[in-house]
């Protein structure tokens, strides 16, 4: 296995090392640490238009207050023999000290606090359907990965949503939760016993309320939403748990410091606003635009999506450039090759003329999404090889305002359902009961997803759901239907 560690630092604080870092391993009988080589460091502060906005750009070298830098470390292949205990193996990296300008934590000093931080991840045992405890080596599972860079620098004053957009290469089910930031520590890692200790919060903030503006976290998609008029530096910790056959097999954590800025205004004291993103789907129940859809496996999902910001004009009359990006576990690595992802076919994305993201244009930008789903993408329980059938893609539209871009992020949610069975026969019994017979699509894997039976007295509807059936049942009798035979080529009063 390999370990990868991404660290984010406030550029106005202490620099991180470009030498190898040590990850400590807890509760493994023989492995106690791993060495991670330094790979790179990157200033991830927003790129913006200094000339037209008239504002300075955040930069780790020349304008560091609020700027953020990402450091990447990675191990060589490491052997972890054996299987984790029920309490798991744990991997930690800790350091001193935190930024004294943090708004939502109680720290010992506003300039040189003694409190540090501990980053962690955990690996848990997995028992297969036959009751066998599976050894960690050879590696049979990868932890979830974050597909989206953390959103750390945002202007206040408008509703904002974002997602860390995690995915799992084995398509294990994942869930998102808030968690506690930890201090650094000495001795054995045992957070349940207070080593390291959770850091106290400044009221009214808490581990599950770390940001101003009525923050919420969607446990399924990981979408975080809030609307803050308060500026400051806010620590947040999100935990992602991965489940295989209902058993937790991994937990990873992302701790970031969100920098909320009271940004300068445009001309006429008008605040800069983020681009809008049009919803690509229509909710079949409400008839309203939606960012969610459900499709049967084998369907081609395709749509155009736009980012628009035509009202924000710079003082010199110049339009803002709007940029479009997309991330997701099922996205093609190069946005073109449909085989370059965890579970092909992969989704592809371009500007309609073959240009892959990120791409930009003044005031208005459009992208084309396409994904051919298949039976590999549906929730299945074949041999307890349960996989998730909810796929999320984060589409980001942002302007070039300084010092922080106006950003909108839409979480596209696509649920891949089992392919619709082929309805083969409808017959009416002498007493009016109606028999349905259908055939499942060849090679479709078993599924726990139900199929619904709907009834109407006419082809035009309205239809009412009367029951549900599960695979492998392929017949259904509607008792008391009072059906009759109509000798036309298209008559039927039941739909599956």
Is pLDDT above 70 for 146? yes
Contact assessment for residue 424 and residue 436, using Cβ atoms and an 8 Å cutoff: no
Over residues 347-357, the mean pLDDT reads: 96
Contact assessment for residue 3 and residue 34, using Cβ atoms and an 8 Å cutoff: yes
Question: For 171-219, how does the pLDDT look when each residue is reduced to its tens digit (9 = 90+)?
Answer: 788 999 999 999 999 999 998 899 999 999 999 999 999 999 999 999 9
Q: Report which of residues 54 and 170 the model is more confident about.
A: 54
- Report DSSP state, residue 50: H
Is pLDDT above 90 for 3? no
Residue 116 CA to residue 93 CA, distance in Å, equals 11
C-alpha closest to that of 494 among 405, 434, 431: 434
**CB atoms inside a 10 Å sphere around CB 46:** 22
Q: How confident is the model at residue 488 (pLDDT cuts 50, 70, 90)?
A: very low
- Asked which of 240-254, 316-330, 370-384 is least confident by mean pLDDT, the reply is 370-384
Mean pLDDT score of the chain = 89
Q: What's the pLDDT at 368?
A: 97
Residue 246 CA to residue 196 CA, distance in Å, equals 29
Q: How confident is the model at residue 379 (pLDDT cuts 50, 70, 90)?
A: low
C-alpha closest to that of 176 among 238, 126, 262: 238
Q: How confident is the model at residue 382 (pLDDT cuts 50, 70, 90)?
A: very low
Q: How confident is the model at residue 444 (pLDDT cuts 50, 70, 90)?
A: low
Reduced to 3 states (helix: H, G, I; strand: E, B; else coil), residue 81 is: coil
| pTM (two decimals) | 0.81
Q: Report which of residues 170 and 295 the model is more confident about.
A: 295
Contact assessment for residue 180 and residue 207, using Cβ atoms and an 8 Å cutoff: yes
Contact assessment for residue 141 and residue 245, using Cβ atoms and an 8 Å cutoff: no
Q: How confident is the model at residue 383 (pLDDT cuts 50, 70, 90)?
A: very low
C-alpha pair distances (Å), 191 with each of 114, 181, 213, 240, 406:
19, 11, 30, 17, 38
- Report DSSP state, residue 102: B
Q: Enumerate the β-bridge partners of residue 145.
A: 167
Q: How confident is the model at residue 284 (pLDDT cuts 50, 70, 90)?
A: confident
Is pLDDT above 90 for 138? no
Most confident listed range (81-95, 128-142, 144-158): 81-95
Q: What's the pLDDT at 183?
A: 96
Residue 284 CA to residue 267 CA, distance in Å, equals 42
Q: What's the pLDDT at 448?
A: 67
Is pLDDT above 90 for 269? no
C-alpha closest to that of 253 among 201, 177, 185: 177
Q: How confident is the model at residue 419 (pLDDT cuts 50, 70, 90)?
A: confident
Q: What's the pLDDT at 465?
A: 87
Contact assessment for residue 174 and residue 143, using Cβ atoms and an 8 Å cutoff: no
Q: How confident is the model at residue 388 (pLDDT cuts 50, 70, 90)?
A: low
Residues ≥6 apart with Cβ < 8 Å to 110:
100, 101
Q: What's the pLDDT at 446?
A: 64
Over residues 265-285, the mean pLDDT reads: 89
């Amino acid at each position: 296995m390999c370990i990868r560690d991404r660290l984010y630092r406030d550029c106005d604080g202490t620099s991180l090392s470009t030498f190898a870092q040590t990850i400590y391993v807890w509760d493994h009988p023989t492995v106690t640490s791993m060495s991670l080589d330094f790979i790179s460091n990157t200033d991830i502060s927003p790129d913006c238009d200094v000339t037209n906005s008239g504002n300075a750009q955040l930069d780790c070298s020349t304008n560091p207050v609020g700027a953020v830098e990402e450091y990447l470390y990675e191990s060589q292949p490491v052997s972890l023999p054996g299987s984790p205990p029920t309490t798991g193996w744990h991997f930690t990296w800790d350091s001193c000290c935190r930024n004294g300008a943090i708004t939502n934590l109680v720290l010992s000093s506003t300039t040189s606090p003694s409190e540090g931080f501990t980053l962690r991840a955990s690996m848990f045992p997995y028992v297969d359907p036959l009751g066998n405890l599976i050894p960690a080596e050879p590696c049979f599972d990868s932890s979830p990965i974050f597909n989206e860079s953390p959103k750390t620098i945002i202007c206040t004053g408008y509703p904002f949503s974002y997602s860390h957009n995690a995915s799992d290469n084995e398509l294990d089910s994942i869930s998102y939760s808030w968690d506690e930031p930890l201090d650094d520590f000495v001795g054995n890692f045992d957070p349940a016993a207070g080593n390291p200790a959770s850091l106290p919060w400044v009221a009214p903030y808490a581990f599950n309320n770390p940001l101003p503006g009525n923050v919420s976290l969607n446990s399924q998609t990981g979408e975080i939403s809030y609307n803050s008029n308060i500026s400051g530096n806010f620590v947040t910790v999100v935990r992602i748990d991965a489940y295989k056959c209902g058993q937790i097999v991994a937990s990873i954590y992302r701790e970031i410091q969100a920098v909320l800025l009271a940004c300068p205004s445009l001309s006429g004291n008008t605040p800069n606003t983020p681009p809008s993103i049009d919803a690509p789907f229509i909710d079949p129940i409400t008839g309203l635009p939606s960012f969610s859809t459900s499709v049967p496996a084998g369907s081609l999902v395709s749509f155009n999506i736009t980012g628009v910001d035509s009202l924000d004009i710079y003082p010199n009359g110049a339009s803002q450039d709007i940029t479009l990006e997309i991330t997701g576990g099922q996205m093609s690595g190069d946005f073109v090759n449909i085989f370059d992802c965890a579970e092909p076919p992969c989704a592809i994305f371009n500007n309609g003329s073959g240009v892959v993201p990120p791409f930009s244009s003044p005031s208005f930008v459009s992208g084309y999404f396409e994904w051919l789903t298949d039976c590999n993408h549906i929730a299945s329980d074949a041999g307890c090889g349960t996989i998730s059938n909810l796929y999320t893609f984060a589409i980001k539209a942002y302007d070039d305002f300084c010092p922080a871009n106006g950003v909108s992020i839409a979480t596209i949610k696509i649920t891949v359902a089992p392919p619709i069975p082929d309805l083969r026969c409808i017959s009416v019994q002498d007493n009016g009961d109606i028999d349905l017979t259908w055939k499942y699509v060849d090679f479709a894997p078993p599924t726990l997803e139900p199929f619904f039976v709907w009834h109407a007295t006419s082809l035009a509807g309205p239809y009412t759901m009367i029951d549900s059936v599960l695979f492998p049942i392929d017949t259904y009798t509607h008792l008391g239907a009072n059906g009759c035979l109509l000798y036309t080529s298209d008559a039927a009063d039941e739909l599956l």
